[in-house]
Amino acid sequence: MGQIEKVAVIGAGNMGSGIAQKSAQELFDVQMVDREEEWVERGHSIVSSFLQEAEDRRIFSSKQVGEIKSRITGVVGTENVDPSTDLVIEAVFEDFEVKKVVFETLNDVCDKHTILASNTSSLSVDELALATGRPDRFVGLHFFYHPAKNRLVEVIPATRSSEASIKSVEQYCKAMGKVVIVCKDRPGFVVNRFFVPWLNEACLLLEEGIGTTAQIDAIARSAFSIGMGPFALMNLTGPPIALHSTDYLSKQLHTPRYAGSAILRKLVEKGELWEIGDSEEYDENTRKIISERLLGQVFSVSAQIVDEEICSMEDVDRGAKVGLRWEKGPFELANEIGIKKASQMAVSYSALAGLELPEWFSSRAKEFEFSYVDLTVEGEVARVRLNRPEAMNALNVDLVSQLGELVKSINSMPDITTIVFEGAGKAFVAGADVKFFVDKLRDDSFEEIYEFTAHGHEVLNSIENSEKVTIALTTGLALGGGLELALSCDYRIGTRRTQFRFPETSIGIYPGLGGTQRTARICGLECARYAVMAGNFMSSETASDIGLLTHNVDPSDVEEIVKSLMGKKPNEKYPGRPSNPESDIVRFATEFYSDKNVPLLELGKVPSDYDSEDPLVSRQGKSLSRVAPIALKIASELITDVRSGSSLEQGLKLELDRLEEIFSTEDAIEGLSALIEGRRPSYTSS
């Protein structure tokens, strides 16, 4: 079973068309299938509407929109699906019998290798798998609305799903830029298991007269740090969906508390939406009752999810943050308000709802600790997954510390010859956690910034100096510290979805985890200046030509390349020259970023003998003029120093030695703050 390239989506409604659109955006060939021509055309119309909105907001160009649409082929009739399709996702009504008929047809039509999947939010995945006729090549999927925008997807293997099928579908979802939660087949899966009863609990609070819709929404927004309360959310998605979902959970989990409240049922019967008034004022007693009931419900059910081993507590939090856009997940909220208090809330709610609360939560005294780095061992290969996709795997203190401990442990394993690093979600690693730097600068705690960076050097050096073969699967976005992590590895494998960038000079600092040193030693000073000084985005082709990617391959060939590299150290890790000196970008970088131009470039200026109308020259000039001048000069000096013949160890020490100089500038706090605040920085060279 190989890489998924061709996808079909059965059902051209809002969900189906959204899945088709997102798949096409990520370069998959897609068939959008429905029973009637008019429904297929409606699906195309929905896609066109969303893409027009994206074009209006300059997310896509008109050319890109045209290319996306060209990858979606309308098909009338499930029986007309291309037999060679790799993955077929059923996205029809939540009706078992309807889905069963679809799968029976697909089983007859599709080749033996085709994986079938159901986009379901409630039905039993095991029962659906049996209905397909190929339970080993079936996986449950739960996309969240709108699938082209919401980054979460729950992957639910059936009991008989093969490991190859699960991995293929998970890789497809990752290529779609999705944050993937792999979970057990239990009613509600992960997010709906705690979210749907949360909506119903709000209805019960209203029914009991404890608060109005406006008050409950306001208190929920405050307690959970969210943008919309439960009633506003139900109005957005439709009260009938909430009623259907909560009744389903009540029946499947034998929990009467979850049965749709009378007030919700009456609203649905009338076909109305919630009336939410403008008056949100409430007294302290009302706030306490409502917030503690809603928080207690979420804590109690989340504890059950983890206790039943449906998924990890990290994935529960991830589901809340990515799928529901909560600022913090249930377990993070428990830490924030205090474990003892959170436990008391959960105990109270569990008694009210007749639920059994796991003892490890009810009697907990210590804060929850979260793991951001996962290890799986496959023969002689240790796979390390950086698993913080809700933050694009950004490097924070905990992740770097956990990564260091794990690498140290793997380095001591005699049977392991190869370590493969990869990121969960779309990104490999999207840099360091910028908020950490801003917080420490505002607290006048540079020492903590230095300690974090110095520890990062130790961790990357443990990868650099490992006797194992180290491989970075940079098959997505790798920015700043993430790219520096990749450069410490022996090999970097990329695909057409790879993007590299050093954004540091544009945010007031310089790459401080080896970016100036390893880059120059890999591809030479001129190409390093192109990459670092102006912070140019590099496609997989450019990164390969420069030499930052050691392998640029088709997505279907990634695992074969990994196998070919196992146990084989590179002959020359730091050649000091670009891989393809004949490429247009390398030719330009070699000339434009030559020694003679450096003095002007350090001032953010373009040499006068270059045509300012040339798009490439213009882009460099614009980028250089917008970066922080002090950061630009220090980055340039650190790169140039590589020519002195200093060792990598000495060069890395130079990066650390100049940290205080750069972080003491006004430009550093301005650039970092501007990034967080979503505005363009204004630098003063101070």
Residue 371 has pLDDT above 80, yes or no: yes
CATH (domain of 123)? 3.40.50.720
Q: Which two tokens stand for residue 493?
A: 């494998």
Say which of 17, 118, 162, 192 is annotated catalytic.
192
Inter-CA distances, 638 with 354, 518, 598, 634, Å: 64, 11, 13, 6
Percent of the chain whose pLDDT exceeds 70:
100
- pLDDT at residue number 519: 98
Any domain includes 95 = yes
Backbone angles phi, psi at 34, to 5 degrees: -150, 175
* Separation between Cα atoms, residue 542 and residue 466, nearest integer Å: 28
Any domain includes 682 = no
Longest dimension (CA), the chain: 79
* Separation between Cα atoms, residue 392 and residue 26, nearest integer Å: 17
206 and 158 belong to one structural domain: no
Residue where one domain finishes, among candidates 153, 182, 211: 182
Say which of 23, 26, 119, 154 is annotated catalytic.
154
Residue 473 has pLDDT above 70, yes or no: yes
Provide CB contacts within 8 A for 125, sequence distance 6+: 118, 138, 139, 140, 156, 157, 158, 185
Any domain includes 683 = no
What is the overall mean pLDDT for the chain? 95
Edge-to-edge, what's the strand order for the sheet holding 477-479? 427-430, 477-479, 499-501, 538-539
Closest among 199, 175, 150 to 87, alpha carbons compared: 175
Closest among 17, 19, 25, 68 to 46, alpha carbons compared: 17
Q: Do you find a cis peptide bond into 146, omega within 30 degrees of 0? A: yes
What is the pLDDT confidence band of residue 518, given thresholds at 50, 70 and 90?
very high
Torsion angle defined by CA atoms of residues 423, 429, 435 and 441, in that order, rounded to the nearest 10 degrees: 130
Query: Count of domains in the chain?
Result: 3
Residue 394 has pLDDT above 80, yes or no: yes
Count of other CB atoms within 10 angstroms of residue 304 = 21
383 and 349 belong to one structural domain: no
- pLDDT at residue number 390: 87
| Contact call for residues 198 and 245 (beta carbons, < 8 A) | no
Q: What is the mean pLDDT of residues 476-495?
A: 97
Closest among 20, 111, 36 to 73, alpha carbons compared: 20
- pLDDT at residue number 613: 87
Any domain includes 1 = no
Q: What is the CA radius of gyration of the chain?
A: 27
What is the pLDDT confidence band of residue 231, given thresholds at 50, 70 and 90?
very high
Backbone angles phi, psi at 173, to 5 degrees: -65, -40
Q: What is the mean pLDDT of residues 479-494?
A: 98
Percent of the chain whose pLDDT exceeds 90:
92
Q: What is the mean pLDDT of residues 358-372?
A: 94
Q: What is the mean pLDDT of residues 186-203?
A: 97
Inter-CA distances, 503 with 8, 111, 225, 543, 648, Å: 38, 46, 30, 15, 22
350 and 269 belong to one structural domain: yes
CATH (domain of 439)? 3.90.226.10
Inter-CA distances, 451 with 397, 409, 489, 631, Å: 10, 22, 22, 20
- pLDDT at residue number 226: 95
530 and 623 belong to one structural domain: yes
Closest among 76, 77, 142, 138 to 107, alpha carbons compared: 138
Inter-CA distances, 405 with 396, 411, 436, 456, 509, Å: 14, 10, 21, 12, 28
Asked if 192 is an active-site residue, the reply is yes
Beta strand 491-494 pairing with 538-539: unpaired
Residue where one domain finishes, among candidates 132, 161, 182: 182
* Separation between Cα atoms, residue 324 and residue 8, nearest integer Å: 27
- pLDDT at residue number 479: 97
141 and 215 belong to one structural domain: no
208 and 311 belong to one structural domain: yes
572 and 619 belong to one structural domain: yes
Count, residues in the chain: 686
* Separation between Cα atoms, residue 301 and residue 310, nearest integer Å: 12
Q: Where are the alpha helices (DSSP H) in 258-375?
A: 262-270, 284-307, 313-318, 330-337, 339-353, 359-362
List the beta bridge partners of residue 31: 8, 73
What is the pLDDT confidence band of residue 265, given thresholds at 50, 70 and 90?
very high
Any domain includes 614 = yes
Residue with tokens 């993070």: 332
pLDDT digit string, tens, across residues 590-617: 999 999 999 999 999 999 898 888 999 9
CATH (domain of 306)? 1.10.1040.50
- pLDDT at residue number 3: 80
* Separation between Cα atoms, residue 356 and residue 351, nearest integer Å: 8
- pLDDT at residue number 253: 95
206 and 153 belong to one structural domain: no
508 and 585 belong to one structural domain: yes
What is the pLDDT confidence band of residue 385, given thresholds at 50, 70 and 90?
very high
Any domain includes 685 = no
Backbone angles phi, psi at 514, to 5 degrees: 100, 0
Q: In terms of C-beta density within 10 A (0-12 exposed, 13-18 middle, 19 or more buried), how is residue 586 classed?
A: buried
319 and 377 belong to one structural domain: no
Is the Cα torsion angle 213, 215, 221, 227 positive or negative in sign?
positive
Q: Where are the alpha helices (DSSP H) in 412-552?
A: 434-442, 446-464, 481-487, 515-523, 525-532, 540-546
Asked if 121 is an active-site residue, the reply is yes
* Separation between Cα atoms, residue 593 and residue 591, nearest integer Å: 6
Say which of 118, 121, 161, 350 is annotated catalytic.
121
- What is the amino acid identity at position 226? I
Backbone angles phi, psi at 10, to 5 degrees: -95, 115
pLDDT digit string, tens, across residues 139-162: 999 999 899 999 999 999 999 999
What is the pLDDT confidence band of residue 278, given thresholds at 50, 70 and 90?
confident
Asked if 154 is an active-site residue, the reply is yes
Range of the domain at 449: 373-677
Asked if 422 is an active-site residue, the reply is no
Any domain includes 150 = yes
What is the pLDDT confidence band of residue 514, given thresholds at 50, 70 and 90?
very high
566 and 669 belong to one structural domain: yes
What is the pLDDT confidence band of residue 121, given thresholds at 50, 70 and 90?
confident
* Separation between Cα atoms, residue 593 and residue 586, nearest integer Å: 10
Q: Which two tokens stand for residue 23?
A: 């798949």
Q: What is the mean pLDDT of residues 622-649?
A: 95
* Separation between Cα atoms, residue 574 and residue 630, nearest integer Å: 28
Closest among 544, 539, 514, 559 to 652, alpha carbons compared: 514
Residue where one domain finishes, among candidates 182, 214, 246: 182
Q: What is the mean pLDDT of residues 14-35?
A: 96
Any domain includes 351 = yes
* Separation between Cα atoms, residue 635 and residue 140, nearest integer Å: 49
Q: Which two tokens stand for residue 419?
A: 């370590």
Count of other CB atoms within 10 angstroms of residue 646 = 14
Q: What is the mean pLDDT of residues 293-306?
A: 98
pLDDT digit string, tens, across residues 534-552: 999 999 999 999 999 999 9
What is the pLDDT confidence band of residue 175, given thresholds at 50, 70 and 90?
confident
Closest among 535, 542, 519, 541 to 651, alpha carbons compared: 519
Residue with tokens 């003063």: 684
Residue 2 has pLDDT above 70, yes or no: no
* Separation between Cα atoms, residue 274 and residue 528, nearest integer Å: 58
- pLDDT at residue number 573: 96
Q: Which two tokens stand for residue 185?
A: 């087949």
Residue 177 has pLDDT above 90, yes or no: no
Say which of 17, 142, 466, 506 is annotated catalytic.
142
* Separation between Cα atoms, residue 644 and residue 414, nearest integer Å: 38
| Contact call for residues 393 and 425 (beta carbons, < 8 A) | yes
Count of other CB atoms within 10 angstroms of residue 218 = 20
317 and 450 belong to one structural domain: no
